[in-house]
Amino acid sequence: MKQYYRYVMVMVVLMLCSCAYVLQAKDANLREEFEQSMKGYNSMLRWREVEKAGTVYLDPGLRDAFMKTAQEFKKRGVTITDYRILTSECLPEKGSAEVIAEFDYYTLPSNRIKTLTYRQKWLYSDTEEKKGWLLESSLPDFE
């Protein structure tokens, strides 16, 4: 009988270890997905694909306002020359992330480079409509 309990205890420990491994793997996957989304979004902004960035990465409820700002962005001739990710914090267990990015840009007809800090808030969506990281922040004012 003692042998039976020993086997049961070993099985319980193995099951708990496998559950912990699965949770760690899920967190690692969410972090990797976030990194890809964050880099993809900021890269699209850099290469003037603002509308596409909004369509791919923005929460559907915020898209209309974002697209209006994106049209102004293009109309004013804003050109981003470079960006840097200053900080990036991903909390997969909460399904949220925050990024602080810095953009170098100019607005035509001026050729003076300006720098802007852009705080981005991201949430993980796991619905039928959209599964992945979605941006909750709108575009900053590129003055």
The model's pLDDT over 55-105, given as tens digits with 9 standing for 90+, comes to: 999 988 899 999 999 999 999 999 999 999 999 999 999 999 999 999 999
Burial 28-62 (b: 16+ CB within 10 A, else e): eebeebbeebbebbbebbbeebbbebbeebbbeee
Q: Given a cut of 70, is residue 25 above it in pLDDT?
A: no
87, HSE (Cβ side, Cα atoms, 13 Å): 9
Residue ranges and CATH numbers for the domains of the chain are 28-135 (3.10.450.50)
Predicted TM-score (pTM) of this structure: 0.81
Percentage with pLDDT > 70 across the chain = 83
Q: Is 95 left (phi over 0), alpha (psi -120 to 50) or beta?
A: left
Beta strands of 34-137 (E only): which ranges? 78-91, 96-107, 114-126, 131-135
Q: Would you say 112 and 18 are in contact if contact means Cβ atoms under 8 Å apart?
A: no
